[in-house]
Amino acid sequence: MATIEEALEVERLERDIFRGAATESQLTRTFGGQVAGRALVSAVRTVDSAYQVHSLHGYFLRPGNPEAPTIYQVERIRDGRSFCTRRVTGVQDGEAIFTMAASFHRGDVGPEHQDVMPVIEGPENLPDAKTTLSPERLWAMREWEHWDIRTVPQDQVARREGTVSPQQVWFRYRHPLPDDPMFHVCTLAYMSDMTLLGSSKVTHPGVPTQDASLDHAMWFLRPFRADEWLLYDQSSPSAGFGRALTGGRIWDREGNLVAAVVQEGLIRTPRQA
């Protein structure tokens, strides 16, 4: 399957127009993380390197065709002294499949604090997902074979009082990545869509649903590397009307809170023919 470098690569066609080629995939629709990651890469290439992305807000509008290229159109909404804003639209066959706003910041000095990382089992003591998935789910590890994903067993999850549907996942890219910090940010944007909606299913094991990402927001808080272990602390505070709200906080191995994610997804009962 495609490496993360291939999955995120876009070709510049015009000053603010980019194209992402089709990549090898087993999926019937384009992985949402790839669409978001390529949209962010496109936005990054229109911003001065003095600015670093600090947030993105995206909407998945239509299923993407993984066998077709996607065009990414970037709008330069604002270029300020401290912040820049870009809007990106992903297009296939003349129709928008994804739209995203991304904000970039030069960085300032101010008060600092963060929550404490959950105390849980380290990734070295957990099995690689490719050794534990059922035969019918092994396709997922073939699709994302370059990722080392280790889910914390439910009886070992660090639970916060009142949290009804928690899930915790260690992950990292298996191979060394370039040192460019923005590449790691775009890689995390790609990865952040993986496993998050699954937190909404923790409290409903075995219930069949049709699932899809609807909207996705991220905040990048501190530097990190995506080829080193990161803990994705996830939960789903609410589900109803065929939709689930999910959220996640991402920590590096040293306990630094590096990113936060909120997503709403479709988890509806399959429609009868």
3-state helix, strand, coil in the chain (%, to 5): 20, 40, 40
Residue 39 near residue 72, CB atoms below 8 Å: yes
Is 233 an active-site residue?
no
Residue 38 structure tokens: 């390529």
What does the alpha-carbon distance between residue 269 and residue 273 come to, in Å, rounded to a whole number?
Answer: 12
Is 180 an active-site residue?
no
What does the alpha-carbon distance between residue 273 and residue 258 come to, in Å, rounded to a whole number?
Answer: 44
Q: Which residues contact 130 (CB under 8 A, 6 or more apart)?
A: 138, 141, 145
Does residue 184 sit in helix, strand or coil? Answer: helix
Is 238 an active-site residue?
no
The catalytically annotated residue of 167, 213, 235, 236 is 213
70-79 and 83-92 strand pairing: antiparallel
Burial (CB count within 10 angstroms: exposed 0-12, middle 13-18, buried 19+), residue 14: exposed
Q: Which residues contact 18 (CB under 8 A, 6 or more apart)?
A: 10, 11, 12, 38, 41, 42, 45, 71, 72, 74
The catalytically annotated residue of 148, 193, 233, 252 is 193
Does residue 6 sit in helix, strand or coil? Answer: helix
What's the angle, vertex CA 14, arms to CA 8 and CA 20, rounded to 5? 25
What does the alpha-carbon distance between residue 54 and residue 105 come to, in Å, rounded to a whole number?
Answer: 6
Q: Which amino acids are annotated catalytic?
A: 193, 213, 263
